[in-house]
Amino acid sequence: MRFQNSKGNGDVLKNAVSRTLQIKCKRMRTFIDENHDSLHLHISQLRQFALSAGGLVLDEIRALVWPVLASSLVQDSFGDEETTSTFSDSDFESAHSDFIYEENNYKSSSTSILSSPTLQDLQSHREWNQVQMDVGRTLSRFPPNISDEERCTLQEDLTPLIVKILWSCPRFHYYQGFHDVCLTLLLVLGNEKAEHVGTLLANNGIFRGYLLKSLEDTVLRDLDLMYVLLWKVDEELEKVVRAVELGSLFALSWPLTWFSHALHHYHQIVLCFDFFLATHALTPIFLTSAVVLWRSNAVLNCSRDMASIHHLLNVMPNDIPVQALIHDAQDLFRMFPPSRLRGPLMEDYQHVININRIRKPSLPQISLRNWLVAGTATAAMYIISKYMFISSSY
């Protein structure tokens, strides 16, 4: 049977999806209205809303649900006392803050670590100037329907917002890309809620490690797991990227910014935030792996050299099917949970590539933070990736 009028079929599909999301929105609104004062007791249902097709759909719903999800983040089972608590791979175990959901109360005793700083205090913070420079480069991140006046106001709010979050822990060190995360929170939640959720993420979530420790010891180590997933799912792809010594720096900004720096459309970014707020702290690595696997054909048909493949993967396609890839990431998580991935699977993979025979010179004493997120040269990526490829052990 041949289908006629593919455009008409496409319109029917879009209308069906639209109706489905409208029904979902109505259901979520009803649930929130009925449980407004006790949403923190319904974390499982809120996570289900966030993880099902379309995520939380509307920012007005996100503004109510994100603070609750951020108060009960699913923790990573791998870490130390400095960065995380110890939990299992289960999505049902969380680091629960003392947050009580009230419309006019966004503070929690677990995050009100220091008294509220004044603007003068914030401007004296060691990171203020760097944050301000990065905020000045966020023009392309604003949705097209925001006026210039509103954008300027948001940019003025963003620098003190970020520094307030850093102020919550004197040992936090800002990294380029954290401003992208905070901008998304500001756009969805407004200033006060964004500060509350950002502080929860910084103190209880995966960002705590990024703000406290070196990137070599956190995100780059986690990105090594991507190669294990590639090996298990698409062995030919893994062999190609390993043969050209691709490394993982092409994807560095993806987990660091929860994809907010790489994706081109606002609705794609907030859908990722719905996903990450409702799931295990390592799911950005699973989504990163899903994106690379989705581009397998393009990689295999690309010139077999590091620079070409790095450039191909570093540029995120405009039409990336984020929702489908989120489903793929969930499937990867179920098949290869973090405890197996970091344990026996990593050991098996290291054995396969015979890593113990590889002798690498020590990493040059140059901070990787100088290459972060924006304006990174492919040549620099090549030099560093030769040192960083599967260099950490679990």
CATH of the domain at 162: 1.10.8.1310
pLDDT recorded at residue 394: 57
Among 180-189, 298-307, 313-322, 364-373, the least confident range: 364-373
Say which residue, 8 or 100, is predicted with more confidence: 8
pLDDT recorded at residue 251: 97
Average pLDDT over residues 110-139: 84
Residue percentage of the chain with pLDDT more than 70: 76
| Boundary of a domain, candidates 159, 187, 212 | 212
In sequence order, which ranges of the chain are alpha helices (DSSP H)?
A: 6-34, 43-51, 59-70, 119-123, 128-135, 148-167, 178-189, 191-204, 207-212, 219-233, 235-243, 253-256, 266-277, 283-294, 296-300, 306-314, 322-335, 338-340, 346-352, 378-388
Whether 76 is covered by a domain: the verdict is no
As for how many domains the chain has, the answer is 3
Are 267 and 299 members of one domain?
yes
Whether 6 is covered by a domain: the verdict is no
Residue 375: left if φ>0, alpha if ψ -120 to 50, beta else—which one? left
Are 48 and 137 members of one domain?
no
Say which residue, 17 or 376, is predicted with more confidence: 17
Are 67 and 136 members of one domain?
no
Distances (CA, A) of 322 to 153, 156, 253, 313: 30, 31, 16, 15
pLDDT recorded at residue 12: 59
- Under 8 Å between Cβ of 248 and 220: yes
Average pLDDT over residues 266-280: 97
pLDDT recorded at residue 128: 96
Whether 369 is covered by a domain: the verdict is no
Are 241 and 349 members of one domain?
yes
CATH number at residue 232: 1.10.472.80
Are 273 and 171 members of one domain?
no
Quick: pLDDT tens for 13-66.
567 678 999 999 999 999 999 999 999 999 999 999 999 999 999 999 999 999
CA-to-CA distance for 126 and 367, rounded, in angstroms?
18
Whether 148 is covered by a domain: the verdict is yes
Are 267 and 311 members of one domain?
yes
Whether 338 is covered by a domain: the verdict is yes
pLDDT bucket at 186, cuts 50 / 70 / 90: very high
Are 247 and 340 members of one domain?
yes
Quick: pLDDT tens for 199-232.
999 999 999 999 999 999 999 999 999 999 999 9
CA-to-CA distance for 35 and 43, rounded, in angstroms?
11
DSSP at 102: B
Whether 25 is covered by a domain: the verdict is yes
- Under 8 Å between Cβ of 338 and 282: yes
- Under 8 Å between Cβ of 266 and 187: yes
Amino acid 160 reads P
Q: Any idea which residue has 């799912």 for tokens? A: 233
Quick: pLDDT tens for 236-264.
999 999 999 999 999 999 999 999 999 99
Q: CA nearest 127: which of 182, 77, 72, 87?
A: 182
pLDDT recorded at residue 10: 57
CA-to-CA distance for 162 and 1, rounded, in angstroms?
57
Are 57 and 149 members of one domain?
no
Whether 225 is covered by a domain: the verdict is yes
Whether 149 is covered by a domain: the verdict is yes
Are 274 and 200 members of one domain?
no
Average pLDDT over residues 134-140: 86
Residue 287: domain span: 216-359
| Boundary of a domain, candidates 173, 193, 212 | 212
Return mean pLDDT, the chain: 83
CA-to-CA distance for 168 and 197, rounded, in angstroms?
12
Q: CA nearest 165: which of 197, 126, 209?
A: 197
Phi, psi of 280 (to 5 degrees): -55, 150
Taking the CB of residue 266, how many other CB atoms lie within 10 A of it?
A: 19
Residue 390: left if φ>0, alpha if ψ -120 to 50, beta else—which one? left
CA-to-CA distance for 84 and 111, rounded, in angstroms?
15
| Boundary of a domain, candidates 181, 212, 243 | 212
Are 199 and 241 members of one domain?
no
Average pLDDT over residues 139-167: 91
pLDDT bucket at 383, cuts 50 / 70 / 90: very low
Are 229 and 352 members of one domain?
yes
pLDDT recorded at residue 198: 98
Are 256 and 314 members of one domain?
yes
